[in-house]
Amino acid sequence: MATPQSRIYFTEEEYLAIERASEERHEYVDGRIFAMAGESDEHGEISSNIFGHLFDQLSGKPCRARHENTKVRSGPEPKPSQSPEGFYSYPDVLVVCGERKFHDKYRDVLLNPNVIIEILSKSTEAFDRGEKFIRYRTWLPSLTDYILVSQDKPMIEHYRRQPNSEWTLATLTGPDAALKIESIDCSLKLSDVYDGVQFPSPQNAPIENDLTI
């Protein structure tokens, strides 16, 4: 089987076969396969903190938190006659409620996450804010919350889908602020999210701003 290094474009089926046999994680974007970079210490701390607090709060509820290794398909149902089109990613943290829906019998590609949380880095921030969010909100009707977490300062951006399909943004800054995810009845204090994380400089007091996009 060809590897990601020896070819440029792959079908979704080829990508999934490669990924299931690989020890490394890769994302798939419209026929191209991209290796995922390793995480920084700050990224690892933040991701673990968020997952741990959500896991505890969701205990006994119909929603479950997943951490880093769950693939999500954000694109149309693949068809053999189509040119390569689709997006498979590994959100840093996600929450899925109710019955989980999967791409195929392997049950390793989720189709219906409710909350997706991405931790920003310099190499991925533009994609996370732009094309990735477009695909998430277009192809994941189950998605109610998209949350972006800075790793170099205590700041969280919380996008929420409204009944009219518009998205509102709330920006929280400072360790005393708290993120409330009403769709899953959970909250995260920024002091807990950033526990153990060292920042390069002092930050300002907590602020929350709202807008509609």
Overall residue count recorded for the chain in this entry: 213
Residue % of the chain over a pLDDT of 70? 89
**Residue whose C-alpha is closest to residue 74's, from 123, 14, 143, 23:** 143
Distance CA(198)–CA(94), nearest Å, equals 24
Q: Which of 29-43, 118-132, 169-183, 197-211 has the lowest mean pLDDT?
A: 197-211
The per-residue pLDDT for 49 is 98
Q: What is the pTM of this model?
A: 0.89
Which is more confidently placed, 211 or 101?
101
Q: Name residue 200's amino acid.
A: P
Distance CA(146)–CA(154), nearest Å, equals 17
Distance CA(92)–CA(151), nearest Å, equals 13
The per-residue pLDDT for 206 is 46
| Statement: residue 173 has pLDDT above 50 | yes
Report CA-CA distances (Å) from 51 to 56, 94, 154. 9, 8, 17
Average the pLDDT over 46-71 and give the result. Answer: 96
In angstroms, how far is the first alpha carbon of the chain from the final one? 44
| Statement: residue 205 has pLDDT above 50 | no
A 10 A CB-CB count for 37 gives 11
Query: Residue 22: phi, psi to the nearest 5?
Result: -95, 150
| Statement: residue 135 has pLDDT above 70 | yes
Average pLDDT of the chain? 90
What are 210's two structure tokens?
Answer: 């709202």
Query: Residue 125: phi, psi to the nearest 5?
Result: -60, -45
Which is more confidently placed, 122 or 185?
185
Distance of CA 60 to the CA centre of its chain: 23
| Statement: residue 109 has pLDDT above 70 | yes
**Residue whose C-alpha is closest to residue 173's, from 212, 134, 199, 145:** 199
DSSP state of 147: E
